[in-house]
Amino acid sequence: MYQCYDVPGLPRTNNAQEQFYRQMKTSERRTTGRRRSDTFVVRVGGFAAYAVVAATFTEATSNSQLAGVAATDWRREREVLRANQERQTKMRRFRLHRDAYLADLEARWAQLNETGPP
């Protein structure tokens, strides 16, 4: 029930985590000048946390940490980031260019119906 007693280094409260996220959002608001940083966090996801923390590292520290990451792991995480960004782009495309988006969607649907099920 109380994981903090079983796992060394795990804080008993989530205050440290909340402070980190507050710092991350504040940093993004200062950087962009926007009132809300939610779009950045949603668009970038977990990579936002690394970006905030990495900004405080020296170049040598960043290089040593990145050198310890396997190329396959990096590629996999990069695919996750790109998939998230693609999903966000599609959502924005629908909101901004609704008629063109729906026309394209209808054309693809008609093409699928002509060729039959895969």
Query: How far apart (Å, rounded) are the C-alpha atoms in residues 90 and 82?
Result: 12
Question: For the segment 10-41, what is each residue's pLDDT rounded down to a tens digit?
Answer: 566 777 767 777 777 787 777 777 777 666 66
Question: For the segment 51-94, what is each residue's pLDDT rounded down to a tens digit?
Answer: 666 777 788 887 887 788 899 998 998 898 888 888 877 777 77
> What pLDDT is attached to residue 76?
92
pTM: 0.46
Helix 71-96 vs helix 98-115: crossing angle, to nearest 10: 110
DSSP string, 44-91: HTTHHHHHHHHTTS-HHHHHHHHHTS-HHHHHHHHHHHHHHHHHHHHH
User: Taking the CA atoms of the chain, what radius of gyration do you get in angstroms?
Assistant: 21
Predicted confidence band at 115 (pLDDT cuts at 50, 70, 90)? Answer: confident
DSSP state of 8: T
Mean pLDDT (whole number) for 113-118: 69
